[in-house]
Amino acid sequence: MNTATDTDSLTSHEITYRIGELSSEFDVTLRTLRFYEDKGLLSPRRIGNTRLYSRADRARLKLILLGKRVGLSLLDVKEILDLYNASGDNLRQLTVALEKGEEQMQILQQQRKDIEEAIGELDQTILSLRDQIAKTGE
């Protein structure tokens, strides 16, 4: 459930989110959100000590976590996010995202192949060890 906060202190009536709300919604720590802020990935407004995240910050966080989940570096994610232009067609952003996505897909497919080979080798080794133990126990 979204617990967006309307903050009267803001001049506009846009929906904002407090750090704890985003932390709970996306199951990340407060430290993680502050880290992303330090890296320039998120830029919440501050009212006193309170961080207020916009809808755009929330969307950026969702993309950051997706990038992290698929193995993109934070630098790659930042590059993609920084190309966003609210008034443009964002063709450059989409092109860069596609290129990085395709590169990461190749990396993940190679990793899957390597893991499948390692599993096969380990499976054979386990069978061989079980066989040796069975013969020793006879």
* pTM exceeds 0.85: no
CA 2 from chain centre, in angstroms, equals 19
In terms of phi and psi (left: phi > 0; alpha: psi -120 to 50; beta: otherwise), the region of 136 is alpha
Of 56, 4, 14, 65, the C-alpha closest to 36 is: 65
Digits of tens for pLDDT over the chain (138 positions)? 444 544 444 445 789 999 999 999 999 999 999 999 999 999 999 999 999 999 999 999 999 999 999 999 999 999 999 999 888 899 999 999 999 999 999 999 999 999 999 999 999 999 999 999 999 977
Instruction: Tell me the CA distances in angstroms from 35 to 56, 59, 66, 74, 80, one per residue in order.
Output: 17, 17, 16, 11, 18
Distance between CA 103 and CA 4 in Å, rounded?
A: 36
